[in-house]
Structure 1
Amino acid sequence: MKRHLLLTAICIITITLLNGQAQAQNLRAFMQNSGFLSLQTDTPYAETYLSVPGNSIVYKTGANGKYEGALEVTLLYLKDSNTVAAFDKYILRSPEIDDTSNITFNMLDIRRVSLPDGVYNVQMQVLDINSTDKEPLTLSQGLNMHFHRDSIDFSNIELIDSYAPTTTKNVFSKNGYDIKPYVFNYYPTSVNKISFYNEIYNLSKMVGDEDVIINYSVKHVQKDAVASNLFRFSKQKAAAVNIVFSEFDITDLPSGNYLLHIDVRNRKNVQLGEQNVFFQRSNKNSVGELSNISLLDVNHTFVTEIDPDSMVYFVKSLSPTAEMYEREYISTILQKNDPKLMQQFFYNFWQKRNPTEPEKEWAYYKRMVSYAAYNYKTAIDYGFETDRGRVYLQYGPPNHIDGSDREPGAYPYEIWQYYKLSNNQSNIHFVFCNADLVTNDYALIHSDALGELNDPRWRFKIYNTFKDGNGYRNFDIDYFRSTWGSQVDQYYGK
């Protein structure tokens, strides 16, 4: 079973000093959740992680002259979108500090709560008690807590910021280590390793006391291939709970979207199960195969037959299917406006994807670009620049497209379904909505694909006319009650 999570992040900060307070203009907060199974109680439990940059909160001086910040945190666990399964409200205080001019720490908190099996929406409100702004930040994330008891299953993969052997047991202690979570799915250049923790359940019920092979790797999101040779394996004796606790050096991992992937196999190399988590890498120090691209000889190749103006258009059209570092390079060569360099990059791009027949690979993609241009372009954007065009080019034609442009109370919308993506994700949906009613610009408002926008309240965006009457402004309500003529659940549930 795979659990897909949404990460929600908020805005930018500046600091000023006013009337004995260190005033932050914008509070920022980041939430992540992981689901685990307690074998002692046979009950799932969620770990909710909260990270708040210390320089984004307001500090007040206490009687001792030191500065302290305080946050009011409200947590709701909504089962099946609209039933409150658990609730928590507490005050999170910062360390007392002498100076607020150079705050570099994050406030980090973890909460554990036992929950029945089910699908949850975890909602969090964070209010800066010392701030004059009394509007709390709202964070939301989906969490699947269905666990098998008689076949292999996995916890979520917990990304780790730091760990050390436990000396005194505390809230971060787990299996002999103090594990502090990494509450992001983004790894900048300054972070050179990715550490992770995962629990695998019920292997002994499947294979007895045999050994199993646990493979873990970093894979590209858009293709089922290991990135930068980041692959390891371990042999473990099957148990009620098997633990994967490891890390990869990502110093040389290029910018891009990746999956941290865990795969379990028996002694006959038959796959028993897999789990993964999405992350994004930005690496200014890695240029990969593009560093020597200007030396590539493209004479007598198909790229020389493309005129310069068309080449600019076609290079731009590669963005939906390009890796992040390739998109960065595309921006560079477009700014340079060097026709020869564009030819070299363009040929390298398709040769890398099909070494024997790069022109054939390009011809297939070109037909898709033409289709996107005809069906999805707007008065402002090329077809490949729109959300529908980008998804079409990145993932290919969907297996089903449903929707309506005249449903009562609804904006025009489309729901795309993919039976299986190239990275082995199954039964994936993309929801698009045309809120301006004038253009052909359908915006992506929700998807259950890894790395895509995920909004549990997407139905409210489609049925904007009825949103207030259906609880849009009520923090406790997540699920939009069906209206007359509504077919979104039928389309989405296919």
Structure 2
Amino acid sequence: MLVLGIFLLAQNLWGQGLRIGADVHPYWSPENGHYLEITYSVEPSSLYAAWADSSAPKITLIALVRRGNEVLSADKMALTCPEQDVKADILYPIVQNAFLAADTGFLQLTVFYGLGETLTDTLNGSFYLEDKQGVALAALQWKEVLKGNLGPRAQFGQAVYANDSDKVYFYTEAYRLPKGQKAFFTYEVYSLDTDRSMEGYGGVMRLPATNRVQPIQGGILVTDLPTGNYELRCTLNVQDMDKERYPQQRLRFYRVNPTELARWNEESPIDPRWMGQLGTGDSLRHWINGFYPIASIAERQQIERMAPGISDTLLWRFAQRFWESRYPVDALTRFVEYKNLLRIVDSQYSSRAVPGYATDRGRIFLQYGPPTLTEKRPFETDGYPYEIWQYNTLDVPNAPYQINKLFVFVNYAVVGRNYELLHSDAIGEVFNSRWKIALQKRSYMTEDI
């Protein structure tokens, strides 16, 4: 049995300060049938901030694949993460693979995880594996070069390539290529912003029809690719096969061209009024960092790259372009309004170490505005302090109109202002179906473990 039109499931969850991503890719082999490759990615700054011990952090993960109430396979993994200098400019993500048996039909994946031996958070996903006969193409997977070999790439949502000499590496598999017939694998980069194929970013591979499973891997140099949203589109072309039935796979990524962004910054004249509103030094940097909750992927990359020694001139220029690109007519007025919102979130949600815009409540407030209703439970005898924010409507650019959306924040420290986003049913936010259980002080384990 083969898989055609199979899925890519990318789930991300923040729990008790620990950020973990799980990319799930289905594959097939003649000997073992269907199986799943799970790539766990651990964001290092969240890990070392949550780990109190001075030794190397440890993470426990348990993954279950179910079909209804039936458990098809399970895997338990203990990750011992390397010690890193938490004050270094670069912290390297921790990436680890696991493999679980699967089958066709509607399946559920549950990942229980936590620091040390205690499981405290849950990651859930549902998907459908379709049973198809004949030629097929596995879902695309991003790769990166590790010690001279291609290995899994750390993923936290959509892939972003932001270096001067980035090369996009991908992997897939072709199944049951017919013997005696020519087969070609074609790939191209397609711009989702301009709705056109990018000339010079693609290629063709001839595939031998000798194996029931044919691995396919390749790379595309994107140094000169402009900043924007793109999609890698791949097609398996087989001789004498109806073109309408050619297996295809697609996978999106975002390109941030640092040379292009630097040129934009250098060419923009500065209005003196912006200098007066933004100030200089630490005050200027504070306002710039406060743009992060409403910034695009490219702008967030730029903010993250602003080293402490960067000149005030470049920061002024960036801020002016940031707002003028959104509001060409009244950019300065809009910034002053946002500046007042930053003061509000600083006064209500900041702590001694974390500014208001960097907290989950501050980010949600700046991104979506004040909630319609707020329920606050600061003193819970049998659970953690929490807040529930309700929005009657959410009108977000480049997203569907949403109504009646909830945001649940929990304070695992019990004291202070450190409320973390535990669950939301808004598009693109953390979803946790077990949020009511997670609010309790005890760790509840299901009968399946």
Q: TM-score range with shorter-chain normalisation?
A: 0.5 to 0.7
CA contact (8 A) 1:372 1:389 kept: yes
- In the alignment, the residues of structure 2 paired with residue 358 and residue 174 of structure 1 have an alpha-carbon distance, to the nearest angstrom, of 57
- Structure 2 residue 429 is matched with structure 1 residue 452: yes
Partner of 1:69: none
Over 3 Å counting, the alpha-carbon distance change for 1:176 and 1:108 in structure 2 is: farther
CA contact (8 A) 1:434 1:441 kept: yes
Partner of 2:394: 420
Partner of 2:137: 178
CA contact (8 A) 1:173 1:179 kept: no
| Aligned AA (1:142) | G
CA contact (8 A) 2:13 2:430 kept: no
Partner of 1:32: 24
- In the alignment, the residues of structure 2 paired with residue 458 and residue 429 of structure 1 have an alpha-carbon distance, to the nearest angstrom, of 12
- In the alignment, the residues of structure 2 paired with residue 415 and residue 368 of structure 1 have an alpha-carbon distance, to the nearest angstrom, of 20
- Structure 2 residue 66 is matched with structure 1 residue 77: yes
Aligned runs of 1:85-124 on 2, under 5 Å? 85-89=69-73, 111-115=102-106, 122-123=109-110
- In the alignment, the residues of structure 2 paired with residue 384 and residue 306 of structure 1 have an alpha-carbon distance, to the nearest angstrom, of 16
1:361 counterpart SS class: helix
| Aligned AA (2:269) | D
1:460 counterpart SS class: helix
Unaligned runs of 5+ in 1: 11-27, 35-46, 54-72, 79-83, 92-103, 127-132, 146-154, 159-170, 197-216, 219-225, 233-248, 261-276, 478-494
Partner of 1:242: none
- In the alignment, the residues of structure 2 paired with residue 300 and residue 374 of structure 1 have an alpha-carbon distance, to the nearest angstrom, of 28
Q: 1:410: Cα distance to partner?
A: 2.1
Partner of 2:11: 7
Q: 1:361: Cα distance to partner?
A: 1.9
Q: 1:372: Cα distance to partner?
A: 0.8
Aligned runs of 1:144-163 on 2, under 5 Å? none
Aligned runs of 1:173-322 on 2, under 5 Å? 176-182=135-141, 185-189=157-161, 192=168, 228-230=193-195, 251=222, 252=225, 254=227, 281=254, 283=255, 285-309=257-281, 310-322=283-295
Q: 1:280: Cα distance to partner?
A: 6.3
CA contact (8 A) 2:141 2:170 kept: no
| Aligned AA (2:24) | Q
CA contact (8 A) 2:394 2:402 kept: yes
Q: 1:344: Cα distance to partner?
A: 0.6
1:125-171 C-alpha deviation (Å, 9 max, x unpaired): 89xxxxxx99999973233x8xxxxxxxxx8xx9xxxxxxxxxxxx9
Q: 1:114: Cα distance to partner?
A: 3.2
- In the alignment, the residues of structure 2 paired with residue 105 and residue 254 of structure 1 have an alpha-carbon distance, to the nearest angstrom, of 30
- In the alignment, the residues of structure 1 paired with residue 427 and residue 362 of structure 2 have an alpha-carbon distance, to the nearest angstrom, of 18
CA contact (8 A) 1:411 1:434 kept: yes
1:82-135 C-alpha deviation (Å, 9 max, x unpaired): xx53321379xxxxxxxxxxxx997766733434xxxx8522589xxxxxx999
- Structure 2 residue 423 is matched with structure 1 residue 434: no
- In the alignment, the residues of structure 2 paired with residue 315 and residue 293 of structure 1 have an alpha-carbon distance, to the nearest angstrom, of 14
- In the alignment, the residues of structure 1 paired with residue 131 and residue 97 of structure 2 have an alpha-carbon distance, to the nearest angstrom, of 15
Root mean square deviation, CA, Å: 4.9
Over 3 Å counting, the alpha-carbon distance change for 1:331 and 1:286 in structure 2 is: closer
- Structure 2 residue 420 is matched with structure 1 residue 443: yes
Partner of 1:362: 335
Q: TM-score, normalised by structure 1?
A: 0.50
- In the alignment, the residues of structure 2 paired with residue 358 and residue 8 of structure 1 have an alpha-carbon distance, to the nearest angstrom, of 34
1:333 counterpart SS class: coil
Q: 1:432: Cα distance to partner?
A: 0.7
- In the alignment, the residues of structure 2 paired with residue 364 and residue 292 of structure 1 have an alpha-carbon distance, to the nearest angstrom, of 25
Partner of 2:445: 473
- Structure 2 residue 24 is matched with structure 1 residue 51: no
Over 3 Å counting, the alpha-carbon distance change for 1:334 and 1:362 in structure 2 is: farther
CA contact (8 A) 2:226 2:257 kept: no
| Aligned AA (2:373) | H
CA contact (8 A) 2:10 2:23 kept: no
CA contact (8 A) 1:121 1:456 kept: no
Partner of 1:236: none
Q: 1:177: Cα distance to partner?
A: 2.3
Moved over 6 A (4+): 104-110, 133-139, 193-196, 277-280
CA contact (8 A) 2:411 2:418 kept: yes
| Aligned AA (1:111) | A
Partner of 2:124: 141
- In the alignment, the residues of structure 2 paired with residue 373 and residue 385 of structure 1 have an alpha-carbon distance, to the nearest angstrom, of 9
Q: 1:404: Cα distance to partner?
A: 1.5
1:343 counterpart SS class: helix
| Aligned AA (1:89) | S
1:43-101 C-alpha deviation (Å, 9 max, x unpaired): xxxx9842359xxxxxxxxxxxxxxxxxxx963438xxxxx53321379xxxxxxxxxx
- In the alignment, the residues of structure 2 paired with residue 353 and residue 400 of structure 1 have an alpha-carbon distance, to the nearest angstrom, of 29
- Structure 2 residue 439 is matched with structure 1 residue 462: yes
CA contact (8 A) 1:302 1:359 kept: yes
Over 3 Å counting, the alpha-carbon distance change for 1:175 and 1:30 in structure 2 is: farther
CA contact (8 A) 1:30 1:50 kept: no
Over 3 Å counting, the alpha-carbon distance change for 1:344 and 1:74 in structure 2 is: closer
- In the alignment, the residues of structure 2 paired with residue 107 and residue 421 of structure 1 have an alpha-carbon distance, to the nearest angstrom, of 39
- Structure 2 residue 347 is matched with structure 1 residue 374: yes
| Aligned AA (1:50) | E
Moved more, 375-384 or 172-181: 172-181
1:122 counterpart SS class: strand
1:274-322 C-alpha deviation (Å, 9 max, x unpaired): xxx99764x5654544433122111344334432143222112111111
Q: 1:409: Cα distance to partner?
A: 1.0
- In the alignment, the residues of structure 2 paired with residue 446 and residue 259 of structure 1 have an alpha-carbon distance, to the nearest angstrom, of 29
Over 3 Å counting, the alpha-carbon distance change for 1:416 and 1:335 in structure 2 is: same
CA contact (8 A) 2:10 2:21 kept: no
- In the alignment, the residues of structure 2 paired with residue 343 and residue 227 of structure 1 have an alpha-carbon distance, to the nearest angstrom, of 30
Over 3 Å counting, the alpha-carbon distance change for 1:193 and 1:394 in structure 2 is: farther
Q: 1:413: Cα distance to partner?
A: 0.7
Over 3 Å counting, the alpha-carbon distance change for 1:414 and 1:188 in structure 2 is: same
CA contact (8 A) 2:368 2:394 kept: no
Q: TM-score, normalised by structure 2?
A: 0.55
Over 3 Å counting, the alpha-carbon distance change for 1:125 and 1:338 in structure 2 is: closer
- In the alignment, the residues of structure 1 paired with residue 382 and residue 8 of structure 2 have an alpha-carbon distance, to the nearest angstrom, of 30
CA contact (8 A) 2:361 2:421 kept: yes
